[in-house]
Structure 1
Amino acid sequence: MSQNHTGRPSQEDIEWCYDAVHRVSRTFSLTISELDEPMARDICVGYLLCRVADTIEDAGHIPPAAQSELLRLYSQTLDPDADASVRTFDDAVNEWLPATLTDDWEVVDNAARAVGVFRSLDNHALESIRGPVRELVDGMAMFVDRYADEGGLRIKTLDELEEYCWYAAGTVGTLVTALVSHEATPEQTEQMEENARAFALLLQLVNVAKDAATDMEEENNVYLPLELLDEEGLDHSDVGNPDNVESLVPVIERVTARAEGYLDGAQTWLEAMPETRGNTLSAWAIPFLLAVGTIRELRERPADVIENGNVKITRDEVHAVCQQFIGDSSPPIGDLRTRIRKQPLHEY
């Protein structure tokens, strides 16, 4: 069961946070492995706080009204001015824990540990993390309420999709920008603030495109916009049906193109980023370049999203991308982006 903390977290709690991220997210595991302290701990804890909310939002066994109530209660535990304790959230979520805990639900069950480590961070980190995470949690609650009668999210338009993607992933761009901006030049800060949205939407739109069928099957959420489906004579209920592959491919391609449109802004965000507070270019360049590779695969085989459940790049390519940043190497991001967009990096 989860543990509540009223004082400073133990080293065991901190180590648990790192271990939990490595178990629930391959992408963020790579990112955190590339960071130094204190940035590594800040991002690790910030990510886990978001993961708690994401797991609750995706839980098909929890009625929408209970989901939104849990999300709002959880948000209040992060508000220093609210009279809400993490124990209250623990008690409320306990009845919805599965009998057998997956790695994701173990994080929910141990939310108090993540919150305890979060509360131990320095004031700059606290303020940089709190706002973006609460925006994510509150945004998820809003979307759950919006589609409560549907039993799952049913995105209607491209604009609404981007609104959702902002709440689901905007935290990444704004949180990182806030953490490093106080040691950045005014020009760097301006560039990062202007392009943080592009970095976040790039990553999330790629996820929407590659996981469209899986999201419906496992979470009963359909993020492919109805306005695009309607143009192909489809509706939300048709997503994931192999008989509709030919009609779904143009929709996958449109969402992929939308993601690709954010590559320039995301690259600008990366190139403006200072390497301070333990931050490193590689930590964020790697997921950026993996997104480029996934876009390439989505362009080449969009039907696999429906026929095979998703589209992924190979472990060999992931390894090849990571190898570019070994030691003090700082390869030109633009050159790598161009090469990866043409073919898998390990095939050169």
Structure 2
Amino acid sequence: MTDNIAPALAPGIIDREAALRYQTASLQRVSRTFALTIPRLPAGLQETVGNGYLLCRIADTIEDDPRLDWEAKARWQKVFLAVLRRETPAEEFASGFAREMAAEMPEGEHDLIANTPSVVSLTHSFNSVQQSALIRCVEIMGEGMAEFQRRASRDGLRDQADMDHYCYVVAGVVGEMLTTLFVEEEPRMLAGGADLPGLAVSFGQGLQMTNILKDLWTDWGRGVLWLPQDRLRAHGLAPGQLHPGMSHPGFTALLTEMIALAAQHLRNALTFTLQIPAEQTGMRDFCLWAIAMAVLTLRRIAENPSFCSADEVKISRDTVRNVVLLSRLLHRFDPLLDLTFRVAVKRLPQGQIC
């Protein structure tokens, strides 16, 4: 499973080109979406954002392991953070976690864990601002995911505020990291006076809520529900009543509410994107493609609220190609982007509130 391990280096020596080649190859294996969007960024951002994604993917791999209990996951999150802080050798984490990692985890993730030293060597080659942004993101994400894993069950999250916090630790904090990296690359983003970190956190929540809804029954199958209990109760539902393919007025109303809230966050995502100068088309595409795919996924869910699996609401590759084409036609024109978004969300429940 580890045929693609980067060559070992003597301590203190970084083969940066080899690390970059591995990063590019690994992105292709562990994320189709980011492998598509990251190459649209300026060269420097490709390196830092790609590396940030792989660091988050390592943290996600720890969280996703089906055989580890929450205590073991929390312990490995701390070890990985110690690696980033140069307190523990990366090789120690890679070999130790590999011994405990479930065999059924995806091959690309086994390979990524084995190559943690290469990934982290690149992290440590960035400037202090970039390193701080990446390490802060992994710290908040790792600690937050460990806490939510501790109490994950089919009972759901406590309330909407709890769901908001979950979305923050798994996605909103990534938005904060990207804001730091984007502003360093393009300081003119600050010229409009917008609350970029706040918009970025909302951006992340819109994407994560879309994923929660799309993967609702996949998560349910592994014994986890990320919907808030207070909103279930408000619609006359209890977690134990839920099941794939259910057709219930209260459940449809709950989905409608969650879709509308996600759409509001995606409206903020567009506002964030429009703070990027129009000539930075690659940076805009990076954001626009994510927004468009989320909106289209929400539309699929709204059209089929009694879906049974993520495959039923997943957008097609042809749709992705159309998103790419439309983005490249419109990415310089703010009024047209705003109009296109408004037209797209009109087909969502309560889309007019956006």
Q: Same fold (TM over 0.5)?
A: yes
Q: What is the correspondence of 1:222-241 to structure 2 with a 5 Å cutoff?
A: 222-232=225-235, 234-241=237-244
Partner of 1:46: 52
Q: Which has the higher contact order (CA 8 A, sep 6+)?
A: 1
Partner of 1:119: 124
1:176 partner amino acid: L
**Cα distance in 1 for residues equivalent to 2:62 and 2:233:** 30
**Cα distance in 1 for residues equivalent to 2:260 and 2:329:** 34
Q: 1:229 to 1:24 in 2, by over 3 A?
A: same
How far has the Cα of 1:199 moved from its partner? 0.7
What whole-Å deviation, never above 9, does each CA across 1:278-310 have from its counterpart, x for those lacking one? 962111111011112122222222222x35655
Partners of 1:238 and 1:244 within 8 A in 2:
no
2:123 paired with 1:98: no
- Secondary structure in structure 2 of the residue aligned to 1:302: coil
Partners of 1:21 and 1:29 within 8 A in 2:
yes
Partner of 1:334: 338
- For 2:81, which of 75, 79, 86 is the aligned residue? 75
Partners of 1:172 and 1:200 within 8 A in 2:
yes
Partner of 1:297: 300
Partners of 2:281 and 2:331 within 8 A in 1:
no
Provide TM-score, normalisation by structure 1: 0.86
**Cα distance in 2 for residues equivalent to 1:184 and 1:330:** 18
What whole-Å deviation, never above 9, does each CA across 1:75-108 have from its counterpart, x for those lacking one? 222225xx32222322331222233552233223
Partners of 2:232 and 2:238 within 8 A in 1:
yes
Gaps of 5+ in 1: none
Partner of 2:27: 21
Partner of 2:283: 280
2:211 paired with 1:213: no
**Cα distance in 1 for residues equivalent to 2:223 and 2:114:** 23
**Cα distance in 1 for residues equivalent to 2:265 and 2:51:** 27
- For 1:184, which of 175, 184, 187 is the aligned residue? 187
**Cα distance in 1 for residues equivalent to 2:79 and 2:92:** 8
Partners of 2:172 and 2:200 within 8 A in 1:
yes
**Cα distance in 2 for residues equivalent to 1:193 and 1:239:** 35
Partners of 1:297 and 1:312 within 8 A in 2:
yes
How far has the Cα of 1:181 moved from its partner? 2.0
**Cα distance in 2 for residues equivalent to 1:50 and 1:243:** 34
Q: 1:18 to 1:33 in 2, by over 3 A?
A: same
Partners of 2:278 and 2:331 within 8 A in 1:
no
2:128 paired with 1:128: no
Deviates more, 1:48-57 or 1:89-98: 89-98
**Cα distance in 2 for residues equivalent to 1:104 and 1:19:** 12
How far has the Cα of 1:230 moved from its partner? 3.5
Partner of 1:85: 89
**Cα distance in 1 for residues equivalent to 2:125 and 2:205:** 30
Deviates more, 1:41-50 or 1:68-77: 68-77
Gaps of 5+ in 2: 349-354
How far has the Cα of 1:327 moved from its partner? 8.2
What whole-Å deviation, never above 9, does each CA across 1:237-282 have from its counterpart, x for those lacking one? 4444435666533333222122112122211111112479996211
What whole-Å deviation, never above 9, does each CA across 1:116-138 have from its counterpart, x for those lacking one? 21112233321232212221112
2:65 paired with 1:59: yes
**Cα distance in 2 for residues equivalent to 1:101 and 1:39:** 29
Q: 1:187 to 1:246 in 2, by over 3 A?
A: same
Partners of 1:188 and 1:274 within 8 A in 2:
no
How far has the Cα of 1:156 moved from its partner? 2.2
- Secondary structure in structure 2 of the residue aligned to 1:99: coil
Percent of aligned pairs with the same amino acid: 23
Q: Give the superposed CA RMSD.
A: 2.9
Partners of 2:176 and 2:197 within 8 A in 1:
yes
- Secondary structure in structure 1 of the residue aligned to 2:27: helix
- Secondary structure in structure 2 of the residue aligned to 1:273: coil
Q: 1:190 to 1:127 in 2, by over 3 A?
A: farther
**Cα distance in 1 for residues equivalent to 2:155 and 2:16:** 39
Provide TM-score, normalisation by structure 2: 0.84
Deviates more, 1:285-294 or 1:328-337: 328-337
Q: What is the correspondence of 1:106-185 to structure 2 with a 5 Å cutoff?
A: 106-145=111-150, 147=151, 150=153, 154-182=156-184, 183-185=186-188
Partners of 2:288 and 2:327 within 8 A in 1:
no
Partners of 1:202 and 1:259 within 8 A in 2:
yes
Partners of 1:38 and 1:277 within 8 A in 2:
no
